[in-house]
Amino acid sequence: MHPFRLAPFNTLPMNLVLLVLLAGLAGCANRPQAPRPVLPAGSAASVASTLARLAALPSADAILLGEQHDAAEHQTIAQQVVASLAARNQLAALAIEMADAGTGTSRLKPGASEDAVRLALDWNERGWPWQTYGPVVMAAVRAGVPVLGANLPGARLRTAMADSTLDGTLPEAAMQAQQQSIRSGHCDLLPPSQWLPMARVQIARDRSMAQALSQAALPGKVLVLLAGSGHVDRQLGVPQHLPASMSVQAVRLAADPGAQAAPSAAFDAVWPTAPAPEQDYCEQLRKK
């Protein structure tokens, strides 16, 4: 693999970054029939912050963005990353947890309607509100960059739950940690008999996303994966299933302004953001 580089932005003062980005967009618009990437969403300060964070990442073949699904700022940051990379012709593809593997927009033109995009991705509005994720998806589509469904299709969930061959795909300690994550993530409401089957499903999903990335890699360009933060964890998630030749940067978007931003064994970078609205998910699960 030949990882992409963000060196040009590393050498620019941040007060010039947005001007460079806008100039790149204008250049795209002046080429006959060239796609025109959308401007990154958010305030100028927000965009500049994301670009600075991007520039600080080492070279890689893929950037894995681990979001918190109910944190609106995280989807805005994802849209900023996609739009800015596309504006510099550095984005190979956007892979998303929010659509199943086997779906994608590669046959659509940049001017495709949102309805056509949702149809191509077989979009599940109930699980993933288009209002939340549509701007991220459309930023790639408008740039002529394919959006790839990467999640394990629902029809394969039961098979994954019973697939004991998945048990050996993680080191033993990581497998135990995955089961503990399943237990705590379901507020200790799952019976112990379900911890292993549910961990297998998580692993199968991670493998599906890893396969989508491996198949879409392009030398000299970067892939972006948008998924829940657990999926991009280096010790437990997608990175465990990627080929050794593929370099990645696993980024956790943390809805906690006080989050430790230093790299860890699980994440290469942590980007703290504003807190998400407080919700008692465990109480909601208990009611169900």
Mean pLDDT (the chain, rounded): 88
Q: 33-37, 120-124, 183-187, 205-209 — which is least confidently predicted?
A: 33-37
Q: With 80 as the cut, is the pLDDT of residue 10 above it?
A: no
Contact (CB, 8 A) for 264 and 133 = no
What's the CA gap between 117 and 102, in Å, rounded?
14
Contact (CB, 8 A) for 191 and 142 = no
Residue 140's SS3 state is helix
Q: With 80 as the cut, is the pLDDT of residue 28 above it?
A: no
| pTM to 2 decimal places | 0.87
> Model confidence at 37, in pLDDT bands (50, 70, 90)?
low
Can you give the pLDDT at residue 118? 98
Contact (CB, 8 A) for 203 and 169 = yes
For 271, phi and psi rounded to 5 degrees? -105, 100
From the options 2.60.40.3950, 3.40.50.720, 3.40.50.11550, 3.30.565.10, give the CATH code of 7-287: 3.40.50.11550
Ramachandran area for residue 33 (φ above 0: left; ψ -120 to 50: alpha; else beta): left
- How many of the other CB atoms lie within 10 Å of CB of 144? 20
What's the CA gap between 75 and 229, in Å, rounded?
13
| pLDDT tens profile 138-147 | 999 999 999 9
Can you give the pLDDT at residue 16? 44
Token reading at 270: 């942590």
More confident: 14 or 177: 177
Token reading at 273: 């953001």
For 16, phi and psi rounded to 5 degrees? -105, -10
